[in-house]
Amino acid sequence: MPSTCTLEIVNRDYPRGPFRAAIFDFDGTLSLLRRNWQAVMIPMMVDILAETGTTETRDELHRCVDEFVMRLNGKQTIYQMIQLGEEVTKRGGVALEPLAYKHRYHDLLWEQVGERVESVRSGVTPAESLTVPGSLSLLERLQRQSTTLYLASGTDITYVRDEVSVLGLDQFFGDHIYGAIDDYKNFSKAMIIERMIRDAGFAGPEIVGFGDGFVEIEEIKKVGGLAIGVASDEEARAGINAWKRNRLIQAGADIIVGDYRELDLLLEMIPLA
């Protein structure tokens, strides 16, 4: 059974703001449309590495793939595919272009995700059931306090914009929705945070970041912001995912939440400007 405790202070000296801007990851942080993406990506990569003729067992390959996939979680998907190509080459295989691996992965994943998206779009499935609990209330409260909201995802921008809209969350972010692009070197979460500071005039300690991956937590801490690690249990939609929690703490998360049900308590801890 998942734990019912969904809020944990990791760093007692966490930044106190006041906060004028918030940046969110999307998948696993707000959206559950792509839940279980790891169960698609990792076996695909294990199959590809096994085809190189390596003497490693599938369990050994799974451990290898799991490590780099989750370490790179939060960056654009292409980086996981670049690493896959390097692992193929390391084992004497002939690697494809990273984009070829990415397209193969997207085709496999879309068999699941596409059905969910269309089910929500058509009104068969409530959008709320495919979001992290409390997401809508959190965004509404932040917006009412005039907090500027940004969304930055490692998923391709075309998919992100559509899925944000399908879940009815686009109203909160306006033009501040960012995702992966083919020219992958010209997009990163670090670049978006830098733009928030340089162009929008937010100081690092005025930014609070929410994310369930290693990358966004590291980047928000680099600028002195408050990092809230979202250790969401994407299947149960309740409690804490222990693996995520441990990784987010390693990345430097100040506060861990499983979802946003304890919203009043959470917002007391992140005073807004």
Give the end of a domain, one of 90, 121, 152.
121
Strand 255-257 to strand 7-9: parallel, antiparallel, or no bridges (unpaired)?
antiparallel
In a domain, 151, yes or no: yes
Residues 181 and 63 in one domain: no
Q: How do residues 240-264 score in pLDDT, each as one tens digit?
A: 999 899 999 999 999 999 999 999 9
| Domain enclosing residue 158, as ranges | 7-32+131-269
Rounded to an integer, what distance in angstroms lies between the CA atom of residue 191 and that of residue 200? 13
Please provide the average confidence, as pLDDT, over all residues in the chain.
94
Q: How does residue 5 score in pLDDT terms, banded at 50, 70 and 90?
A: low
Q: How do residues 220-236 score in pLDDT, each as one tens digit?
A: 999 999 999 999 999 99
Helix (H) or strand (E) holding 67: helix 58-71
Does residue 13 register a pLDDT over 90?
yes
Residues 101 and 205 in one domain: no
Please tell me the predicted confidence (pLDDT) of residue 187: 87
Rounded to an integer, what distance in angstroms lies between the CA atom of residue 54 and that of residue 65? 14
Helix (H) or strand (E) holding 9: strand 7-9
DSSP-based three-state secondary structure for 142: helix
Q: How do residues 137-184 score in pLDDT, each as one tens digit?
A: 999 999 999 999 999 998 999 999 999 999 999 999 999 999 988 888
In this prediction, residues 181-188 reach a mean pLDDT of: 86
Return the higher-pLDDT residue of 75 and 97. 97
Q: How do residues 29-55 score in pLDDT, each as one tens digit?
A: 999 999 989 999 999 999 999 999 999
10 Å Cβ neighbour count for 41?
Answer: 22
Helix (H) or strand (E) holding 209: strand 207-211
- CB 235, CB 36: distance < 8 Å: yes
Q: What is the CA radius of gyration of the chain?
A: 19
In a domain, 1, yes or no: no
Look-up of token digits 């599938």: 58
Does residue 2 register a pLDDT over 50?
no
* Residues β-bridged to residue 73: 75
Residues 104 and 149 in one domain: no
Q: How many domains does the chain have?
A: 2
Please tell me the predicted confidence (pLDDT) of residue 185: 87
Q: How do residues 52-81 score in pLDDT, each as one tens digit?
A: 999 999 999 999 999 999 888 878 899 999
Please tell me the predicted confidence (pLDDT) of residue 186: 85
Q: Tell how far CA 26 is from the center of its chain.
A: 5
What pTM was computed for the model?
A: 0.89
In a domain, 149, yes or no: yes
Residues 154 and 249 in one domain: yes
Please tell me the predicted confidence (pLDDT) of residue 1: 35
Residues 49 and 176 in one domain: no
Phi–psi pair at 107, nearest 5 degrees: -60, -45
DSSP-based three-state secondary structure for 64: helix
- CATH number of the CATH domain containing 28: 3.40.50.1000
Q: How does residue 3 score in pLDDT terms, banded at 50, 70 and 90?
A: very low
